[in-house]
Amino acid sequence: MRSSVIIACTLAIGATAWILSGQFADGDKRAAANVAETPQEAAERPLASVRVRVLQSRVKQDVLVVNGRTEESRKVILRAETAGPIIEVPSTEGSVVEADEVIARQSVEDRNALLAEATALVEQREIEYRAATELAKKGFRSGTKVAEARAQLDAARARTKSMRIDISRTTIRAPFRGILETRYVEKGDYVRVGDNIASIVDLDPVLAVASVSERNVGSITIDEPGQVTFIGGGVANGKIRFISSVADPDTRSFRVELEVPNPDHRIRAGMTGKLTLPLPPVRAHVLSPAVLTLADDGRIGVRIVDAADIVRFKPVSILTQSSEGIWVSGLADGERLITVGHEYVRAGEKVRAIPETAVTGS
């Protein structure tokens, strides 16, 4: 019985070994089947075909569009420089006034009489000074008396000049051509020094003002042309006349002024619109969005074919989008862009590049 057990165990071990030997043999066959193909086999495999286009850059003139508003180019509030009642207000609110045009007149009151008195005193002091000078020459008057007479003459002349200036101040005139926006006085009002008389605004030229971010302000240049489009549909052209050197502390943006001719005063201050400001031209390529792809690290780019017909990944930066396609930077003129089949090939793979029927600007 002991011998039969030994025989049975021997048969079981043999059967197990026979089964395992078959599995190992199959595994070796499968492992052999998974071995990478040889360079010769890879060379004999047919190349993938792709369509390519030769890239040619174009000049891109980009613009910056920002919200803005119009402002008067100048504004002044005229104030009384002497006290007295208003006797005349010839100009009406909203009217166009010319430079030096009379806005209001004050009564001169007794100023003319005081001027006549001051003028007479000047004549008297002149006589006294001449007499003192002649006596000093003959030795009958000291130099001190001559200096005193000269001082009294100068004081009389100064008083006369002051009176004439005070009389001239009773006529308030426009400092420049503009619009009489507000008149603060009426005929009969009594005003003191510093009281408001009228406000005048200059709307020719008018300013279109906007705030530009710190990212874009460096790309804008003074004297460059610009355009403002109003909510109502009107469009006006001008040029950049001012760019702030200091940012607004709250918004971190910079004030930009577009000077717009406005001879007929059609554009009013306070209108809102969009300013279109030019940015420096750049050379870029226009691509179809369909040719864009992602690298393994997430970068956006395209696939090109080098001189040896090897596929290469080329990262790009998207500048903007237009009706023609996507403007990108990062590509070089003369490179062959894969336009069809780029999704079926990988970087480093050799392909058969088929040119498009015509070489066009990308």
DSSP-assigned letters across all residues of 290-350: GG-EE-TTS-EEEEEE-TTSBEEEEE-EEEEEETTEEEEES--TT-EEEEESGGG--TT-B
Model confidence over 76-129: pLDDT tens digits? 999 999 999 999 999 899 999 999 999 999 999 888 888 888 899 889 989 888
> Which of 196, 189, 258 lies closest to 223, judged by CA?
258
Q: Work out the mean pLDDT of the chain and round it to a whole number.
A: 86
Which of the residue ranges 34-48, 194-208, 304-318 would you say has the lowest mean pLDDT?
A: 34-48
What pLDDT score was predicted for residue 111? 86
Q: Helix or strand or coil: residue 133? A: helix
Length of the chain: 362
Q: What's the whole-number mean pLDDT along residues 49-65?
A: 90
39: pLDDT confidence band, cut at 50, 70 and 90? low
What pLDDT score was predicted for residue 45? 67
What pLDDT score was predicted for residue 42? 52
Q: Where are the alpha helices (DSSP H) in 169-318?
A: none
What pLDDT score was predicted for residue 25? 45
225: pLDDT confidence band, cut at 50, 70 and 90? very high
What pLDDT score was predicted for residue 66? 95
How far is residue 279's CA from residue 243's CA, in Å, rounded to a whole number? 14
How far is residue 255's CA from residue 246's CA, in Å, rounded to a whole number? 8
What pLDDT score was predicted for residue 136? 79
Structural domains in the chain, CATH included, are 45-60+282-355 (2.40.420.20), 65-71+202-278 (2.40.30.170), 75-196 (2.40.50.100)
Which of the residue ranges 139-148, 292-301, 323-332 would you say has the lowest mean pLDDT?
A: 139-148
What pLDDT score was predicted for residue 134? 81
- Is the separation of the CB atoms in 335 and 31 below 8 Å? no
Which of the residue ranges 60-74, 134-148, 327-341 would you say has the lowest mean pLDDT?
A: 134-148
Q: What's the whole-number mean pLDDT along residues 289-315?
A: 92
What pLDDT score was predicted for residue 214? 92
Model confidence over 239-271: pLDDT tens digits? 999 999 999 999 999 999 999 999 999 999 999
What pLDDT score was predicted for residue 40? 56
How far is residue 138's CA from residue 69's CA, in Å, rounded to a whole number? 77
What pLDDT score was predicted for residue 184? 96
Q: Where are the alpha helices (DSSP H) in the chain?
A: 2-33, 39-44, 111-138, 143-168
More confident residue, 140 or 64: 64
What pLDDT score was predicted for residue 305? 94
What pLDDT score was predicted for residue 275? 96
Q: Is the peptide bond before 205 cis (omega within 30 degrees of 0)?
A: yes
Q: 198 pLDDT exceeds 60?
A: yes
Q: What's the whole-number mean pLDDT along residues 22-30?
A: 45
Q: 23 pLDDT exceeds 50?
A: no
> Which of 121, 68, 345, 114 lies closest to 231, judged by CA?
68
